[in-house]
């Protein structure tokens, strides 16, 4: 991919509605030519369960338990399954579909963006690999257990370390722009995740949990010395720059993006009409 200048954002800890609203506001601003391609790193306060755009809340999420646990909740504009945003680094990549050398297919654009993630893991001395999911053998090896949880299994070109999924990503395309965001696990609270998801029975829940633990892993489970958030963000900043052949320049959200994000919180991501609509 040709070298080009992108904006780098560190927006810190935000609540669930604000985080999704900011991602969409950047997408809109980029589609209108107001801001350059952008990579954003962020966190969540409070810890949040996000669900994919197509998931059914009442079938898959225990909202009472979610509130008891003090977790935030939001429906993403992207697909995929439920993610507990807790001890992690979250990234988003916003770039026009016609960006030079960006593949038109969703699968291949995943591959390009995952190259950046791959380089980030390498900087943390982890032997990550991309899973093409092209052969029947790979599909069988990484097959989903069928739970509502994202880290149950990798999708095309997602990252695994020692055969277990370590980063989960989802993508949407709107207004000629790709928005891909994802969760890079530093630590993993499997008990909390499975406590707020619904299952047909306790037996099924325990079976799913055991399978999940065999398929998902966090960075700090793989390293002798734990990785702090700042160290991880630095590693993946360099990873995206190297893997995607871009130059990242620190920036800020524009007033236009901030105002649009506030409106999106009020009209979409902060509303039950959006979050509970399925």
What residues are annotated to the active site?
A: 150
Helical H segments across 101-228, by residue range: 106-123, 136-141, 190-195, 202-215, 219-222
Distance CA 138, CA 132 (A): 8
136 CB-contact burial (10 Å; exposed 0-12 / middle 13-18 / buried 19+): exposed
Label residue 69 left, alpha or beta by phi (over 0 means left) and psi (-120 to 50 means alpha): alpha
Peptide bond into 46 cis (omega under 30): yes
Residue with tokens 């991602």: 23
Q: In what order do the strands lie in the sheet with 72-75?
A: 72-75, 48-51, 83-85
Cβ count within 10 A of residue 213? 13
Label residue 122 left, alpha or beta by phi (over 0 means left) and psi (-120 to 50 means alpha): alpha
Of 113, 111, 120, residue with least CA distance to 38: 113
Distances (CA, A) of 16 to 61, 83, 219, 270: 16, 12, 23, 8
Secondary structure (3-state) at 157? coil
CA Rg value for the chain: 18
């Amino acid at each position: 991919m040709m070298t080009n200048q992108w904006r780098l954002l560190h927006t810190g800890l935000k609540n669930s509605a604000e985080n999704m609203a900011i991602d969409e506001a950047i997408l809109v601003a980029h589609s209108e030519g107001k801001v350059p391609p952008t990579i954003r790193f962020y966190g969540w306060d409070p810890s949040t369960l996000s669900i994919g755009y197509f998931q059914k809340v009442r079938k898959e999420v225990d909202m009472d338990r979610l509130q008891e646990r003090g977790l935030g909740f939001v429906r993403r504009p992207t697909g995929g399954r439920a993610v507990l945003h807790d001890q992690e680094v979250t990234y988003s990549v916003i770039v026009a579909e016609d960006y030079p050398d960006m593949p038109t297919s969703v699968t291949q654009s995943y591959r390009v963006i995952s190259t950046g993630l791959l380089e980030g893991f390498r900087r943390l001395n982890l032997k990550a690999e991309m899973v093409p999911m092209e052969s029947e053998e790979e599909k069988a090896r990484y097959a989903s257990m069928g739970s509502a949880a994202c880290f149950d299994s990798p999708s095309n070109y997602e990252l695994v370390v020692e055969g277990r999924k370590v980063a989960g990503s989802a993508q949407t395309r709107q207004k000629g722009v790709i928005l891909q965001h994802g969760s890079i696990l530093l630590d993993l609270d499997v008990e909390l995740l499975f406590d707020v998801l619904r299952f047909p029975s306790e037996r099924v829940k325990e079976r799913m949990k055991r399978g999940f633990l065999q398929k998902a892993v966090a960075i700090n489970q793989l390293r002798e010395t734990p990785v702090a958030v700042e160290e991880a963000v630095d590693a993946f900043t360099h990873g995206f720059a190297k893997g995607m052949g871009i130059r990242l320049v620190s920036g800020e959200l524009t007033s236009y993006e901030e105002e649009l994000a506030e409106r999106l919180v009020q009209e979409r991501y902060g509303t039950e009409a959006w979050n509970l609509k399925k």
